[in-house]
Amino acid sequence: MRFFIDTANLDQIKEAHDLGILDGVTTNPSLMAKEGIKGQDAIMQHYRDICAIVDGPVSAEVISTDFEGMVAEGKKLAAIHDNIVVKIPMIKDGIKAIKWFTDNGIQTNCTLVFSAGQAILAAKAGATMVSPFIGRIDDGSWDGVKLIEQIVNIYNAQGFMTEVLAASIRSPLHIVRCAEVGADICTCPLSSITGLLKHPLTDIGLAQFMADAKNL
């Protein structure tokens, strides 16, 4: 399973990259706004900055919701860097736009996916990645990881090449469960990635080793 970081914060992207286990980045308009990025030039420059840190797929989301707008915007985003993946919402015009990008050799990430039916449509359109939002599903007291498992099974049964990118990760346990059911990629906040490091027995064991090392 590949690890992406789900943020537009350059410091956090650098920190995750320095761990040596980072494979890519996802952003969305909310994450970009959180960093105070305003205006077309600033948005483009921010994606350039992210691509300069991470040598892997960087999802850049369109803000148009009509076919022509998404295609025009996506073309500009894709021209920033070879690693840019155009992120398109799961709506009717979005599916048309994904098919257009597929036919024109541009990578896409279909976002805001909450059902297996939506994931099938995204794969039929040739999306490179599909992003089911598991945390938001859990927020409604459904089981987001079950959806990941269902989509993985469908894609395997049908031979779809679209990668399952588990998004809206809220905890280290989400990452472990997504790995268990065969997600291709998890996009996570830095806290969930570093949360995987933690175990009290590791801390107790290390403290003991360090204390005994003084007697060597």
Confirm or reject binding of residue 56 to ligand E4P (CB under 6 A): no
Catalytic, 38? Answer no
Do 108 and 127 contact (CB within 8 A), yes or no?
A: yes
Closest separation between CB of residue 132 and ligand E4P, Å?
Answer: 10
**CA 111 – CA 70 distance, rounded (Å):** 13
Do 122 and 101 contact (CB within 8 A), yes or no?
A: no
Closest separation between CB of residue 111 and ligand E4P, Å?
Answer: 6
Confirm or reject binding of residue 192 to ligand E4P (CB under 6 A): no
Tokens of 68: 């022509």
**CA 166 – CA 184 distance, rounded (Å):** 8
Interaction residues for ligand E4P, span 111-130 (CB under 6 A): 111
With a CB cutoff of 8 Å and minimum separation 6, the contacts of 134 are 144, 145, 147, 148, 166, 167, 168, 169, 170, 174, 178
Interaction residues for ligand E4P, span 169-188 (CB under 6 A): 187
Find the binder of ligand E4P among 135, 172, 182, 195 (CB under 6 A). 135
Confirm or reject binding of residue 26 to ligand E4P (CB under 6 A): yes
List interacting residues with ligand E4P (CB under 6 A).
6, 26, 28, 111, 131, 133, 135-136, 167-168, 187
Active site residues: 87
